[in-house]
Homo-oligomer: A and B are copies of this chain.
């Protein structure tokens, strides 16, 4: 076949158009840090079907609620919960006012720098330390304490600010969902007032969309000025079976999408999955010992055991961090 000059021009134009379209498509990829694969495709497919008005699975904007665990889902939880580092720093800071801590566990271990022993008491020890270090201030004072800490404290392994260690692929999911009319919430076992001071800046999630564990507060007039005083009494533990309770209390509507990483998120995923219509449940599986950490069924922090089985049985998505994510942290972009 003889190729004419016209055909040549046409071919060149087509190639040009193709390059142009590909470039646009790449530039506009809302999940650019995700490798092509089942996990990425499942997110895009779900968002497509609940937002396309002609779809049988269409969901009105008001009902597009997506909930995210924080520790291990949006940022790491190794070698221990980031809030535990905050608690340890607070204990060191407050120690001069608490001479009894020198001989009282778990405080004495913290002061000796033996963090493993300090958290050996499990959830009970953490709650005791949290109350001792999170109470006794007004809400405004506590917000400042958290802000000062989060903008200066560094992670022991990476030497980075904790807020630099958020998962880039999950930031993209948050942005992608919001661009499609979703309201994104954090539903975390962590302290609600520990997350609020920085979550809007880091995740784009405002204070009113943060659900977490809390201590009680009390309204008082101090010299005529109203304050909320933080008390050393637990108010609510937003973990495991507490997560659906927290969701109902704060949102009053069942989410249509839920993202977690541990057995502590299982009830939240069950609650989300059991609603009518299209639902999306996803577990982040920590499989990347090199770029992050690898742990699951036997880890004392962020154990994913029952959840992994249930995800398989129910067809929930499981993200293989090592395989599915092009990069883990934003700072790896420039490395």
B-binding residues in A (CB < 8 A): 62, 139, 183, 192-193, 196, 200, 206-208, 210, 214, 217-219, 221, 225-226, 228, 235, 241-242, 244-245, 248-253, 267, 270-271, 274
User: Are B226 and A248 closer than 8 Å at their CB atoms?
Assistant: no
Measured between beta carbons, the chain B residues less than 8 angstroms from A270 are: 221, 226
User: Are B274 and A226 closer than 8 Å at their CB atoms?
Assistant: yes
Complex Cα spacing A207 to B245, Å: 15
User: Are A252 and B62 closer than 8 Å at their CB atoms?
Assistant: no
How many monomers of this chain does the complex have? 2
Measured between beta carbons, the chain B residues less than 8 angstroms from A271 are: 219, 226, 228
Chain B: minimal CB distance from A211 (Å): 9
Given contacts A226-B271, A228-B245, contact A252 B207 (CB under 8 A): yes
Complex Cα spacing A320 to B94, Å: 52
Complex Cα spacing A242 to B219, Å: 7
Chain B: minimal CB distance from A316 (Å): 14
Question: Which B residue sits closest to A247, measured CB to CB?
Answer: B228
Given contacts A225-B274, A244-B226, A274-B225, contact A207 B267 (CB under 8 A): no
User: Are A208 and B244 closer than 8 Å at their CB atoms?
Assistant: no
Given contacts A251-B207, A252-B210, contact A245 B267 (CB under 8 A): no
